[in-house]
């Protein structure tokens, strides 16, 4: 696939089939993610994979509660929209996907580690699209995944920072095509 087709064709996917994403596919996606640039070639990313729809449903309920605690009463947009989404009965922040990948920043004193993780995640999402898979970033899960007690529960060293959670799966049907503004130039 041409790179520009992937850049313009990738969409956030929120409906997935039941088909499992094999471990070797995830490994290939992580390899592609690890080709991203990083400051001083620090390669400050690490990956964890969590599988199972029921397990992710449980994560979703707990992450939703934690995220909602961060809303102050009467807070402004986009909190209002986020609150609307999160309080919808039965809303699963992982869109009923069966595979969650989390990109963690290593505790290696790279001051740009978080940026590197975002670049790695973008590589992963474009590569997934190239392989016929769909992805969706799940920012709602990030604060909960980064709690020390949750990292301990999940077997993640607490010194690692949860940066970019995303679900991966086989898309069910076409995605929405969100509008993009023209790029803003400041000079």
Ligand X SMILES: Cc1cc2nc3c(=O)[nH]c(=O)nc-3n(C[C@H](O)[C@H](O)[C@H](O)COP(=O)(O)O)c2cc1C
Which structure tokens are listed for 25? 């596919």
Written as six digits, the tokens of 170 are: 């086989």
Q: Quick one: which segment of 20-28, 58-66, 101-109, 132-140 binds ligand X (CB under 6 A)?
A: 132-140
Total residues contacting ligand X (rule CB under 6 A)? 10
CB 138 → ligand X: shortest distance, Å?
4
* Residue choice 21, 136, 150, 163 for contact with ligand X (CB under 6 A): 136
CA–CA distance, 171 with 173 (Å, rounded to integer): 6
Q: Kindly tell me which residue out of 139, 148, 157, 159 binds ligand X, with binding defined by CB under 6 A.
A: 139
Could you tell me the smallest distance in angstroms from the CB atom of residue 24 to ligand X? 26
Find where tokens 């990030």 sit. Answer: 142
- Interacting residue with ligand X among 51, 137, 143, 172 (CB under 6 A): 137
As a whole number of angstroms, the distance between CA 96 and CA 19 comes to 12
Separation of alpha carbons 54 and 37, rounded Å: 35
Cβ-based nearer residue to ligand X, 102 or 138: 138
Q: Pick from 45, 59, 140, 160: which binds ligand X (CB under 6 A)?
A: 140
| Cα-Cα-Cα-Cα dihedral sign, residues 94, 110, 35, 37 | positive
- Contact characters 74-103, ligand X, x per CB under 6 A: -------------------x----------
Verify binding: residue 138, ligand X, rule CB under 6 A: yes
Nearer residue to ligand X within complex by CB, 109 or 179: 179
Q: How far apart, in whole angstroms, are the C-alpha atoms of residue 60 and residue 70?
A: 16
Choose between 118 and 157: whose C-beta lies nearer to ligand X: 118
Position of minimal CB gap to ligand X: 139
Q: Which residues bind ligand X (CB under 6 A)?
A: 11-12, 14, 93, 136-140, 178
């Amino acid at each position: 696939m041409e790179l520009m087709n992937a850049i313009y064709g990738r969409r956030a996917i929120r409906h997935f089939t039941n088909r499992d994403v094999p471990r070797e596919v995830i490994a290939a996606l992580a390899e592609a993610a690890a080709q991203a640039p990083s400051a001083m070639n620090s390669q400050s990313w690490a990956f964890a994979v969590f599988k199972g729809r029921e397990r992710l449903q449980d994560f979703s309920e707990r992450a939703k509660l934690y995220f909602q605690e961060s809303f102050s009463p009467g807070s402004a947009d986009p909190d209002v929209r986020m609150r609307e989404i999160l309080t919808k009965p039965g809303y699963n922040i992982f869109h009923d996907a069966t595979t969650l990948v989390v990109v963690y920043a290593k505790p290696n004193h790279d001051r740009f580690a978080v940026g590197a993780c975002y670049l790695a995640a973008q590589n992963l999402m474009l590569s997934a699209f190239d392989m016929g898979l769909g992805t969706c970033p799940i920012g709602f899960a990030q604060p909960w995944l980064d709690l020390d007690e949750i990292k301990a529960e999940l077997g993640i060293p607490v010194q690692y920072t949860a940066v970019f959670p995303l679900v991966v799966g086989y898309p069910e049907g076409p995605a929405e095509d969100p509008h993009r503004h023209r790029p803003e130039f400041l000079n």
